[in-house]
Amino acid sequence: QQDNLLFLWSITVSIFGIGGLLGSSGSRYLTVKFGKKKCLLCNNVLMIVAASIMGCSKIAQSFEMILIGRFMCGVSLCVPLHHQYVGEISPRKLRGFANSTSSFFWSLGKAIGQISGQRELLGSQSLWPMLMASCGFPALVQLVALPFFPESPPYLLMHKGDQEGCKKAIRQLWGEGQHQAEIDDIMKEKATMKNTKILSVLDLVKEPAFRWQLYMTVILTATIQLCGINAV
């Protein structure tokens, strides 16, 4: 009985990563096909559904609902859209800062989750469903606010070829003014991408020029995973 419980909780913890693997694997196709804004909106809906399922698991007396909710959270959170979208809609001088906020809020969210999970707060036997459902609150805020933001200007220009839509999005984000330099940068990037071969994962592994960078990325990522933060 004890071994079965340990196995179930291990699956509950690790299934988040399985969902994340699937979410990150399909992110490139989805973002090119539908755009980052639409994908983010769908992610938010998925997260709210996942939070609702996990929040109702105790009432339904179903641990399977926790498994399903954790899997859906993994799919939603691990599609690398937030920092891409924030970076692309930010002015050039703020782009580095905007991209760095992603890591900051990831760490802040984990810290808030650990604090909220204390037995004196939401980690008690009666309140833990509320704790598991709390991940839906930020998704709800973003779902309400995001429709007021335009689609990413680089996506509109590079993938849709909509130059007027790109200019309109830039004016909405950065205000009126001369933004031709930013548009020219996007056009240069588009021209560069046409002459650049996009590597698959297998091509990347086989390419000698990226071998040491790949080693460093794998080591850093593995170290983060093995430090125990996901289990926490």
Judgement on whether residues 140 and 226 belong to the same structural domain of the protein: no
Same domain, 9 and 74: yes
Identify whether 15 is part of a domain: yes
Closest by alpha carbon to 31, among 87, 100, 70, 72? 87
pLDDT at position 87: 82
The tens place of each residue's pLDDT in the chain, 232 residues long, gives: 677 888 888 888 888 888 888 887 777 778 878 888 888 898 899 999 999 999 998 898 888 898 999 999 888 876 667 778 888 888 878 888 887 787 788 778 888 888 888 888 888 888 888 988 888 898 999 999 999 988 888 888 887 878 888 888 888 888 777 777 777 777 777 777 776 677 777 777 888 888 888 889 888 878 877 776 655 5
Q: What is d(CA 166, CA 183) in angstroms, rounded to the nearest whole number?
A: 8
The pLDDT tens digits of the residues spanning 48-61 come to 999 999 999 889 88
- Give the Cα-Cα-Cα angle 222, 227, 232 (nearest 5 degrees): 125
**Residue 77 and residue 136: Cα distance in Å, rounded?**
12
Give the Cα separation of 131 and 117 in Å (integer). 7
Q: Is there a domain that residue 213 lies in?
A: yes
Q: What is the pLDDT of residue 62?
A: 86
Number of folded domains in the chain? Answer: 2
Please give the residue range of the domain that contains residue 43: 1-88+120-146
pTM: 0.79
Question: What is the C-alpha end-to-end distance of the chain, expressed in Å?
Answer: 23
Does residue 99 form part of some domain?
no
